[in-house]
């Protein structure tokens, strides 16, 4: 089977009115990735060598999005919505290129398992002309039933057309199927629209192929894999299922999740063994964590790289471009953006480091900020190895603090500091004896006077 070419035709033209959104339904993201992109990934994992996206509502938005997750996909517009077979035939040009296998999929089934698609393709390799993917929902009401006879699929019967015996069938149509490429266009062209809705139904090719004496079979996917999304409630359910799968996968690979149900991963999160993740941690796209790190509670991380044995949080925010080297520490209520924290450096409390490098072993005091933006441009701050920046300091970029440099607490540093130098950037303290009492008495008198006037 691996030697055979395969076109995946992904139907993504639905308007998704029940989502109550101006955005095309299939572009809503599960784990930070559009649901149709999850379908694309599954198709590719099942061996698809070509991709055809059939789009409609929001066509330009869909094309633009597809450039990111499926840059080699061909897009075809279904101008009128006349049924699923009609939608597949919108990709006639791609289907006619002579692929061995055709996979028909739906852009709103983001949990589809590549194994289920591969199993359907395997049936084609064994001689079937059509392999329909079925599933067994907890309640089959409303689903089309797969009617099998003698180990072959005889028909897909919509519930309203089912006999009482057929209604008891628990094996239902998931909508997806694999079709032998040499038969695909002929079977599709034979689909008619003599039905109540006047639409061309893809399911009709089962009986058409059977009437030609071709082998038609059904394969089975899990209920979760076949779950389609029509509204926000189902969308949330799918997100929950995806997260549950990923959490389990992480834990089985050696990651400790103290409260798994509170940790949220993105589609591309990479996390090494022996990492410990505390409750209520959110991983956005582009996060890579090496082994042995500890991510404390309520941290928010995206676009960041965290090396082995780093310590992050609690309540830390790592933004895109944050790069923590081995044994670096970013503590509570700290924000790191587009900055490298070198090996063993510490950014412990209430601090913002942006567009910067913090050298190995350096210590950044509480309340320190890099002033990297003047309203128009970003500027870089370079903090040398072993430097010490005292609490409540403002480092006005562009700026270099040399190796071993020492910044006195409360300083505003606007000029570069040489290696091993001590820098102060604050006004000299002045103490006036008795003036504190005098100031309080004056303020109290003024407040009393205002109160009398108000009364």
Catalytic residues: 349
Please tell me the number of Cα atoms within 13 Å of 424 on its side-chain side: 4
**157/146 Cα distance (integer angstroms):** 7
Please check whether residue 32 is in contact with residue 285, taking contact to mean a CB–CB distance below 8 angstroms. yes
Q: Residue 182 region, left (φ>0) first, then alpha (ψ -120 to 50), else beta?
A: alpha
Give buried/exposed letters for 186-203 (b at 16+ CB in 10 A, else e): ebbeebeeeeeeebbbbb
Token pair 């919509």: residue: 158
Please check whether residue 315 is in contact with residue 300, taking contact to mean a CB–CB distance below 8 angstroms. no
**180/127 Cα distance (integer angstroms):** 9
Structure tokens at 444: 């109290």
Cis before 398 (ω within 30):
yes
Dihedral angle sign, alpha carbons of residues 112, 115, 116, 118: positive
**63/54 Cα distance (integer angstroms):** 10
Please check whether residue 296 is in contact with residue 313, taking contact to mean a CB–CB distance below 8 angstroms. yes
Structure tokens at 359: 């050298």
**Edge-to-edge strand ranges of the sheet holding 422-423:** 256-257, 276-277, 294-295, 311-312, 329-332, 346-349, 363-364, 388-389, 406-407, 422-423
**244/239 Cα distance (integer angstroms):** 9
Q: Pseudo-torsion of CA 391, 396, 402, 403, nearest 10°?
A: 40
Please list the helix, strand and coil fractions of the chain in percent, rounded to the nearest 5, in that order.
25, 30, 45
Please check whether residue 407 is in contact with residue 393, taking contact to mean a CB–CB distance below 8 angstroms. yes
Q: CA angle 266-228-264, nearest 5°?
A: 20
Please check whether residue 241 is in contact with residue 109, taking contact to mean a CB–CB distance below 8 angstroms. no
């Amino acid at each position: 089977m691996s030697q055979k070419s395969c076109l995946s035709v992904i139907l993504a033209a639905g308007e998704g009115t029940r989502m109550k959104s101006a955005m095309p339904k299939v572009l809503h993201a599960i784990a930070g990735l559009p649901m149709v992109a999850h379908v694309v990934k599954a198709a590719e994992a099942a061996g698809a060598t070509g991709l055809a996206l059939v789009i409609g509502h929001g066509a330009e938005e869909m094309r633009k999005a597809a450039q990111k997750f499926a840059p080699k996909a061909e897009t075809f517009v279904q101008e009128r919505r006349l049924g699923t077979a009609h939608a597949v035939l919108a990709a006639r040009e791609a289907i006619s290129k002579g692929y061995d296998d055709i996979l028909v999929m739906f852009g709103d089934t983001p949990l589809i398992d590549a194994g289920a698609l591969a199993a359907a393709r395997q049936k084609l390799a064994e001689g079937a002309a059509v392999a329909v993917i079925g599933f067994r929902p907890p309640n089959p009401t409303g689903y089309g039933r797969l009617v099998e006879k003698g180990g072959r699929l005889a028909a897909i019967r919509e519930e309203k057309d089912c006999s009482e015996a057929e209604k008891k069938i628990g094996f239902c149509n998931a909508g997806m199927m694999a079709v032998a490429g040499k038969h695909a266009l002929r079977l599709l062209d034979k689909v008619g629209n003599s039905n109540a809705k006047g639409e061309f139904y893809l399911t009709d090719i089962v009986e058409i192929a059977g009437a030609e004496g071709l082998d038609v079979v059904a394969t089975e996917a899990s209920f979760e894999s076949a779950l389609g999304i029509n509204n926000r409630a189902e969308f949330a359910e799918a997100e929950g299922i995806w997260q549950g799968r990923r959490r389990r996968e992480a834990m089985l690979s050696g990651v400790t999740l103290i409260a798994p149900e509170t940790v949220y991963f993105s589609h591309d999160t990479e996390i090494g063994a022996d990492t410990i993740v505390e409750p209520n941690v959110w991983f956005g796209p582009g996060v890579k964590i090496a082994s042995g790190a500890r991510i404390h509670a309520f941290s928010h991380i995206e676009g960041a790289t965290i090396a082995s044995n780093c310590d992050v949080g609690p309540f830390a925010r790592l933004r895109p471009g944050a790069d923590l080297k081995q044994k670096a520490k970013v503590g509570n209520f700290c924000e790191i953006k587009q900055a490298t924290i070198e090996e063993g450096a510490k950014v412990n409390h209430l601090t913002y480091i942006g567009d910067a490098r913090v050298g190995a072993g350096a210590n950044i005091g509480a309340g320190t900020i890099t002033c990297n933006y003047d309203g128009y441009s970003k500027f870089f701050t370079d903090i040398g190895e072993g430097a010490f920046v005292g609490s409540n300091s403002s480092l006005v970029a562009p700026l270099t603090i040399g190796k071993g440099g020492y910044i006195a607490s409360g300083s505003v540093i606007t000029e570069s500091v040489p290696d091993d130098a001590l820098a102060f950037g604050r006004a000299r303290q002045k103490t006036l004896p008795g003036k504190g009492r005098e100031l309080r008495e004056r303020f109290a008198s003024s407040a009393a006077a205002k109160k009398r006037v108000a009364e």
